[in-house]
Amino acid sequence: MSVNAPAWLNARPIAHRGLHDRAAGVPENTIVAAQAAVAGGYAIECDVQRSADGEAMVFHDPALGRLTEASDPVEALSAAALTDLPVAGSAERIPTLPAFLGAIAGRTPLVIEVKSRYDGDLRLVQRVADLARTYDGPVAVKSFDPQLVAALRTLAPDVPRGIVAETRQNDPAYAALPPSLRRSLSDLLHFAETEPDFLSWRVDDLPCAPVHLCRLLGGRPVMTWTVRTPDQRRHAEAHADQMVFEGFRP
């Protein structure tokens, strides 16, 4: 099994949702946050959700309430309606993934996290794969959902794909998942189906056996999230190949 993990994948610290600073009018997952990361020499991680008409929107939450004046689910509005919404009271709007890619224009690596409801819906990952395959720049795609990562083996086999995971699943979002799936996520029991090129693991859960073995014996690089404190940064340096950071400049 070959590993598609180019050197650029972990060459630069990765700005979590771009180099954002809400207090300075630079909200997360916006084009201005991406431009700030490019200017700082950092790679970028962004999240995507699906609009009602099938576009990949650069937005983290499944619903709009935390960052906009609307409260709808992202998937309830069209891409045109979503791009009209101010983000966090700033001049920035929710970008489509094509607009986000156009703003970065290959100037720094981009890692796209595809959000999922673990319901078997592949429409969003299909759209992201189509864009990633034709993008002229360093790009990788990752997800928490093994089914989406497995789909990328066929949809975009030449694009580096990664699994995002954590060992301790304390987030309420996991509550609806059966214990068998949660164990599969924690222990990488889906490995034969997903064949990830890299791992993206929660920093406070490192070190752990699945990650250590994949890194040591499988040659798979590990990026770790989300590094916010000096202690977490030291931990990332000891147990991972690169960090996804937020709240400071490395």
pLDDT of res. 1: 65
CB 170 within 8 A of CB 185: no
- Which fold would CATH assign to domain 7-245? TIM Barrel (3.20.20)
Listed residue (143, 99, 109, 83) closest to 15, CA to CA: 109
pTM: 0.98
pLDDT digits (tens, 9 = 90+) for 24-33: 999 999 999 9
Axis crossing angle, helix 123-134 with helix 97-104, rounded to the nearest 10: 20
The whole-angstrom separation of Cα 60 and Cα 200 is 16
pLDDT of residue 87 exceeding 70, the answer is yes
Listed residue (219, 147, 204) closest to 177, CA to CA: 147
Distances (CA, A) of 26 to 3, 147, 228, 230: 36, 33, 18, 23
pLDDT of res. 173: 84
Q: Is 162 helix (H, G, I), strand (E, B) or coil?
A: strand
pLDDT digits (tens, 9 = 90+) for 63-79: 999 999 999 999 999 99
Q: Among 44-58, 64-78, 143-157, 175-189, which is the least confidently predicted range?
A: 175-189
pLDDT digits (tens, 9 = 90+) for 111-157: 999 999 999 999 999 999 999 999 999 999 999 999 999 999 999 99
